A and B are shown apart, each in its own frame.
Chain A
Amino acid sequence: MTKSILFVGVGGQGIILASKILTEGLVRFGYDVKMSEVHGMAQRGGSVTTQVRFGEKVYSPLIGFGEADVVVAFEKVEAPRWISYLKDGGSLVVNDYEIYSMPVLIGKEPYPEDVLEKLEERISKLKIINAAEAAEKLGNIKTQNIVLLGALIKALELENMDWAQVVKDILPEKMQEINIKAIKAGMEI
């Protein structure tokens, strides 16, 4: 049975790295994997999505509406933006973190205030994570993405795999320890 995961967020949040670690891990654990990413126009600040599908044999790298087993929103308002991709009964992991887009910054559009409440009304498998707080506790705010990856791994029930080894194989040595801790922190939230 193929599983589908959608990562959504804002350019610069480290979504591509998080999905890369997940993908490499899934390959090691024996799955066929397809991962797709879209490079938009902006280096920073634009919408970013990556899609990961894994199973015995995967053809399409793309996830359809109502098909994602898990949606991970790295930024709060990105959750409702992409929610139509979540499968009926699927899990939503939301980072309780706001990044204002330009229309909000210049006052043309309000940033909705009740996103989490509205999500709670509709989504039963909802996990709200304060990844910034967890990352700061670890001593590096930039590990928010890996904390969220940890939460995703838990939602996928893949926490028994050796993710520390995956991190060691992919990241440079000085980055390994903190990111292994970040995955663990994400799993424990």
Chain B
Amino acid sequence: MKKIMSGNEAIARGAYEAGCTVAAAYPGTPSTEILENIANYKEIYSEWSTNEKVATEVACGASIAGARAITTMKHVGLNVAADPLFTIAYEGVNGGLIIVTADDPGMHSSQNEQDNRFYAPHAKVAMVEPSDSQECKDFVKYAYEISEKFDTPILFRTTTRVNHSKGLVEQGERVEVGVRPYTKNNKKYIMTPANSRAKHPEVEERLKKLQEYSNNCPLNRIEWGNKKIGIITSGISYQYSKEVFGDEASFLKIGMSYPLPDKMIREFAATVEELYIVEENDPFIENYVKTLGIKCTGKELIPICGELNPDIISKAILKTEDRKMYDVDVKVPPRPPVLCPGCPHRGIFYAISKYKDIIATSDIGCYTLGMVEPLNIGDTVICMGAGFTAAIGFEKAARMGNRKNKIFGFVGDSTFFHSGITGLIDAVYNNSPIVAVILDNSITAMTGHQENPGTGKTLMGEIAQVIDIEKLVRAIGIKSENLRIVDPYNLPETEAAVKEAYNATEPFVIITKQPCALIKEVQKKRAHMYSFIHQDKCKKCKACIRIGCPAISFKNGQISIDRSMCNGCELCKQVCKFDAIEKVGE
């Protein structure tokens, strides 16, 4: 039976059918739905780990113990997990081990456009690259076989359009492979210098064997068409190229992209007249083909920046003209992403926006959107955890430069557990008088509401110990006089905490506590609540507009609140000096 599945659903299905028993991940677009779908298969233990490094190590441990294991992450997650990756590459596996990296060409939801294929040669591990949902499922099975046969972890590289596109997938049955026996083996699993020195040549030897396999495996195939044009391609770029050329070109379709199949490449190149390499972002295949001394055309024509599509490829290689396009003479206003109506992050950003000399080091999460007008809170966003740590460095530098800036650093609850804790410890240890704001909305929100150590529930739906952020902050050494826990829907309370924090001379923490407005239970509880404007009292001062709530608009000379969007958070009511806003419902 065939079913329509996203690449992520198909990877989950592949793990299920291949007998995977342990899965761990930290959410990150475009990878998140893999674990969400794996959690539907009760035969697999699955967990949200605190970060990608933790998740990868959990998967490494499970593999050594004998399970077929998988860990999944977005591309930048692999930077966090790079440490275990490079050493498990030496240790190899017991049960098969798959590390999924979901790259984001075009940066639909990411801070950079790194091409993680380079991790494979860097860490010296095998890599596979599916191009559609069917391959996502099939390649998981191949990956486990390669992993166990060659004693290597597998980098399973996808991109947004593979993860988030749906296509038909043939369903199969689960094959129970069980958990292999574990035998203590210090030389294999304890990477001390002496053991590692013995391992490194084995790894080099393994790569040679993998390359031989790559030349003969079903993952790499030649599709002969017109031999005037030959295209070497992988991943989603294969689908785009097929769309453009069909049978009017020959293809070397790469599914195992590290080690690359040198013999196949030579054979293919020798048979076609013009050789093109079509790949998104960096010239990974192209560089290799050139090191073989083969003439080919790639990045001279195919852009490095941004994602590809069939039109880009067609224009680059076939020099085709644009299709006829409509244009309509309307000035379209931009629609940037915004904090939702009723978002609990809005209150503290509004309170801080009153201080014009504040520097705000923000982080990865919904609260990144504090930077959007009219709130405009945000000076830096680097990576998970840097909300606190960049604040430390900024404060130290400002002081060295005789500048007086108060630095507010922001992380969410999930980001705090991910890598905010270490930054806060650093701030206390090195006595950095920053204000560390933990925006606790009791969920990992931006990736679509995943549980985390603060929510009291696991990925598999079991009740979990709630990690108490306040106790943790106190244990790290934040004094009571430097700690405020506020309800961000309560503006005076929030403003008072911001004022104290602004004047503090030691590390200061504000925890805002209010669950995300989009959590189902919260929506249900607040469904009957909304605020409205008494038009007779409204002076149209637009103070309420300046909180940046999408539910409040100024239309036809009148300010109004869209009842269907409003959840009665009352932030607007608290900024109205004329008592013109009333809330309905308790």
Contact = CB atoms under 8 A, between A and B. Distances in A.
Q: Do A and B come from one complex?
A: yes
Interface of A: 10-11, 23-24, 27, 32-47, 58-62, 64-67, 77-81, 83-84, 86-88, 100-112, 114-115, 118-119, 121-123, 141
A42 B325 contact: no
A115 B330 CA distance: 7
Interface of B: 2, 4, 29-30, 108-109, 132, 160-161, 164-168, 236, 239-240, 242-243, 309-311, 322-341, 366, 368-369, 372-374, 445-446, 448, 518, 542, 545-546, 548, 550, 552-555, 564
A84 B161 contact: no
A115 B331 CA distance: 9
Contacts of A119: 328
A11 B333 CA distance: 16
A45 B331 CA distance: 19
Contacts of A108: 373
A81 B332 contact: yes
Contact of A39 (B30, B329, B340, B373): B30
Nearest to B552: A105
Contact of A107 (B309, B445, B545): B545
A27 B545 contact: no
Nearest to B326: A83
B446 A106 contact: no
A44 B518 contact: yes
Given A100-B555, A103-B336, A123-B326, 6 more contacts: A34-B132, A36-B164, A40-B108, A44-B550, A61-B239, A115-B330
A40 B338 contact: no
A119 B550 CA distance: 26
Given A36-B161, A83-B328, A102 B372 contact: yes
Contact of B167 (A33, A38, A64, A77): A33
Contacts, number: 190
B165 A36 contact: yes
Contacts of B446: 41, 43
Nearest to B550: A45
B165 A35 contact: yes
Given A33-B167, A47-B335, A66-B325, A60 B243 contact: yes
Given A101-B335, A105-B553, A141-B564, A86 B161 contact: no
Contacts of A121: 328
Question: Which of A45, A100, A108, A111 has most chain B Cβ within 10 Å?
Answer: A45
Contact of A110 (B242, B333, B338, B545): B333
A46 B29 CA distance: 16
A47 B322 CA distance: 25
Contacts of B2: 27
A20 B77 CA distance: 29
A81 B335 CA distance: 10
B541 to A, nearest CB: 13
B247 to A, nearest CB: 12
Nearest to B33: A39
Contacts of B334: 101, 103, 109
A66 B327 CA distance: 10
Nearest to A120: B328
A142 to B, nearest CB: 9
Question: Which of B30, B168, B331, B338 has most chain A Cβ within 10 Å?
Answer: B338
Contact of A106 (B108, B373, B564): B373
A102 B338 contact: yes
A27 B2 CA distance: 9
Nearest to B340: A44
A84 B165 contact: no
A101 B335 CA distance: 5
A114 B330 contact: yes
Contacts of B236: 61
Contacts of B30: 39
A24 B166 CA distance: 10
Contacts of A64: 309-311, 323
Contacts of B329: 118
Q: Which 4 A-B pairs have the closest CB atoms?
A: A66-B323, A42-B337, A46-B337, A109-B333
A157 B136 CA distance: 33
A137 B331 CA distance: 33
A112 B332 contact: yes
Given A43-B340, A66-B324, A35 B166 contact: yes
B323 A106 contact: no
A98 to B, nearest CB: 9
B326 A112 contact: no
B323 A88 contact: yes
Nearest to A101: B335
A112 B330 CA distance: 7
Contacts of A80: 328, 330, 332
A114 B369 CA distance: 31
Question: Which of A11, A23, A33, A61 has most chain B Cβ within 10 Å?
Answer: A61
Question: Which of B160, B165, B240 has most chain A Cβ within 10 Å?
Answer: B165
Contact of B448 (A39, A45, A141): A39
A106 B366 CA distance: 20
Contacts of B132: 34
Contacts of B324: 66, 88
Contacts of B243: 59-60
28 contacts: A27-B4, A32-B167, A33-B4, A34-B165, A34-B166, A35-B166, A39-B29, A39-B109, A40-B109, A41-B368, A43-B340, A45-B338, A61-B236, A64-B311, A64-B323, A66-B322, A67-B323, A78-B335, A84-B325, A84-B326, A88-B325, A101-B333, A102-B374, A103-B333, A105-B552, A106-B546, A112-B332, A123-B328
Contacts of B328: 79-80, 83, 118-119, 121-123
A135 B553 CA distance: 23
Contacts of A10: 335
Nearest to A110: B333
Contacts of B545: 105-107
Contacts of B240: 59-60, 62
A91 B397 CA distance: 58
Given A38-B164, A66-B325, A81-B332, A60 B309 contact: yes
Nearest to A98: B555
Given A60-B309, A141-B564, A46 B518 contact: no
B159 to A, nearest CB: 11
A40 B104 CA distance: 12
Contacts of A34: 132, 165-167
